[in-house]
Every structure is written in structure tokens, then in C-alpha cells.
Amino acid sequence: MSRVQKAGSDFASRVQGFLPERDLERVIGLALALGLLGLAFAETAPKSGREITLTAQSVPLSMADPAADQVGALRFLGGVALRSEDPGFGGLSGLAVQPSPGGWRVLAITDQGDKFTGRLVFEGARLRGIDQAAIEPLVDLEGKMVEGKLTGDAESITRLPDGRVLIGFERRHRIWAYGPDLTGPAQAFETPGSLSGAPPNGGLESLANWPDGRVLAISERMATRSGHIQGFLRQGRDWAKIEWTPSAPGFEPSDATVLPNGDLLVLERYWSAKSPTSISSRIIRVNGDQVRPETTLSGSVIAELKAPFIAENFEGITTFTNAQGKTEILLLSDDNFSGLQRTLLLSFEIRD
């Protein structure tokens, strides 16, 4: 395989988690023609646990109006673009938080089989960055390091009330459970049997759970007979099918979380390679009482991030109660290890 062929292959591996399969060939060809591959992929990360140094640059909610602090039902509480010289930083998908001394720790995973942890840093109520950041390989059921795209494509995460953390993987579709801070070895978590029929790159992109034990899993591109998106709801030890109705054609679920009152928030993403390139993310609110087995879920759009508001490949959403006792929402974007995209962490307060 030539260096150009290998570069194209690596680039495809990294962008396919963001692009629909039908757009891959076109975008790869364009990148090769423009000579952008040097920017669009990074060297393979060293697979070892380590602390990393992050820089955080504040970003506005809107470039057109830097003073803007409201989008839909959300009030902006600050956002940062995160960067690191460590080649393993990037490709973050899914987002969870857990209490820690002095604040909150974030948990995220990558489609390269790594976990990312760090402590949220605030200045008053404003998000300023992450410190104590670290990257470490995920481990499998035997405690061995997870390696390769086939087994390490982690896309979704949720933290259970008992402290365990569930991770949903694509390609080899499965759910594994880890200890707090994503400690291993992993334990197999019962996975919906029909998930094996999901597209390799369209598996569990969203995981969420409720204090009553319900666990929700929504695929990214597994279509139902009615044309909706296949999801699953676990009550007790049994999984039942549900369906997700996208808010508009072209939108796909990329993560989910549950509010303190039990309502569900689903993060949706739209991306088009057609000129002009279009990217948009929506947050959909669903009444928690509607989340029952064998139902078709839909909700109302409470916010949409698209130009002139900040827009990126957002793949992580979570909630927590801040120091002021209010519900805060965090959004995280996946840069696909590309110099053409950014890792953004945004903070919002939800207004009813």
C-alpha cells in the first residue's frame, strides 16, 4: 500500500464516524485533490495511560454577535475550544460526568478505543476549561487493552446510579460496563439481540438511563420498517424495541441524556457534503413519561446550533446540577482527529 493509499485509508477511517457512507468517497477525493490530508489525520496515538496538557480558548455562542447568550431555551454559560499536543487527543464521542472532590469530572471515549477524563474548571458560573486531563486505553473483558477500529469504536456512554459506566461500541455492536472513572476489566452488559443487524458505522450512538433502572439505547442509522430510527429500552433485564422519529429529514441522533425531572434530551446532528457545506445540531426534549416499550418517540426542538451560532460535529451531551443548584447541559464535539475541525465543550443552562 502506497503512502497516499494509506493516508486515504486512515482518513476514511477517521471521518466515517461523522460522514454518511455515501459521502465518503467524494470527500476523500476532494481532500486528496486539495492536499489536505496532512491536516486531516494525526499519527497513531501511543497506547499508554498518561496525563496530557490541554489549552482552552474561549469561544462565543455566535461569531456574528459575541454578546449573544441565548439560543432557543438555552442560556449560554461559556464554551472552550480544547487543544493538546498529545497525538491521542481528539475524536471524543459521548459524554458523562461524575462528582469529584471540588467539582465534577468528565468522562468521554474515542472511536480509537481510548477513554478521556478530566476535571471541569469554572470561573464563577462560566466554563473555562478542563484540568487534570488524562488519556488511557479502554480494556476488554480480560483486562487487556482494546486495540483497533473494529473492537475499539466506542461511541456512546452513560453513568448508572450505582456508579458503573456503560459504553456502546459500533462495528462489533455491544455494550460493556465499567467501574467509576471507566476502570476495568469490562463486564459484558446484556445487548439487544437485533442490534447485530445495525450498519457497521450506524450502531449505538446514544445511551441514557433513569434512576428507576431504565436504560435507553438509540442507534444512529438502523432504520425501522416505518422509516424511523431503531432504538431499545431496557426495563429490568429485558430489552424492548422503540423507535426514534428524527426532527427533520437528514437529522440523526448522536447522543442522549436525562434531565433531573425525568425528561429525555436527544442530541441530533445534520451534515451535508453538498456545496455549500451545512452542519447543524439540535437538542430535542421528550416527556419522560412517553419513554415506554414499543413506542415511537418524538419531541420538541428546544435549541438548534447552526450558523450564525457556533456549529460543529457535536456527539456528546450530559447534564449535572451546578453550584447554583441549576441544571446545566454540556455539549462536546468530535473533531475526528482532523485539523479542519475542533473539539468544543459548551455549557448551557436550560430555561423552562
Q: What is the pLDDT of residues 39-63, one digit of tens each?
A: 333 334 456 789 999 999 999 999 9
Does residue 58 sit in the same domain as residue 152?
yes
Question: How confident is the model over 208-242, as pLDDT tens digits?
Answer: 999 999 999 999 999 999 999 999 999 988 999 99
Please enumerate in sequence order all residues whose Cβ is within 8 A of that of 219, keeping only pairs 6 or more positions apart, or say none: 195, 198, 202, 203, 204, 205, 229, 230, 231, 253
Indicate if 13 and 120 belong to the same structural domain. Answer: no
pLDDT attached to residue 24: 44
Is the model's pLDDT at 4 over the cut of 60?
A: no
Please tell me the predicted confidence (pLDDT) of residue 47.
Answer: 65
Question: How many domains does the chain fold into?
Answer: 2
Q: What's the whole-number mean pLDDT along residues 259-284?
A: 92
Residues 223, 153, single domain; the answer is yes
Q: Are residues 169 and 102 both part of a single domain? A: yes
Tell whether the torsion through CA atoms of 154, 95, 22 and 335 is positive or negative. Answer: negative
Residue 34 has pLDDT above 60, yes or no: no
Say yes or no: 93 and 205 in one domain. yes
In terms of domains, do 211 and 297 share one?
yes
Specify whether 57 is located in the same domain as 167.
yes
Please give the mean pLDDT across all residues of the chain.
87
What is the average pLDDT across 231-259?
96
Residue 38, SS3 per DSSP: helix
**Distance (Å, whole) CA 225 – CA 317:** 28
Same domain, 7 and 96: no
Confidence of residue 149 (pLDDT cuts 50, 70, 90): confident
pLDDT of residue 325: 86
The boundaries of the domain holding residue 129 are 46-350
Q: What per-residue confidence (pLDDT) applies to 352?
A: 65
Pairwise CA distance, residues 5 & 2, whole Å: 5
Specify whether 52 is located in the same domain as 29. Answer: no
- Condensed to tens digits (0 to 9), the pLDDT of residues 123-137 reads 988 999 999 999 999
Q: In terms of domains, do 97 and 15 share one? A: no
Q: Does 162 share its domain with 217?
A: yes
1 and 100 part of one domain = no
Query: Residue range 64-91: average pLDDT?
Result: 96
Give the cell for residue 224.
Answer: 425501522
- pLDDT above 70: residue 320: yes
Report the Cα 324 to chain-centroid distance in Å: 26
pLDDT, mean of residues 311-339:
94
pLDDT at 21: 43
The domain spanning residue 56 has which CATH number?
Answer: 2.120.10
Instruction: Report how far residue 256's alpha carbon sits from residue 235's, in angstroms, rounded to the nearest whole number.
Output: 17
- CB neighbours of residue 150 within 10 Å: 12
pLDDT at 237: 87
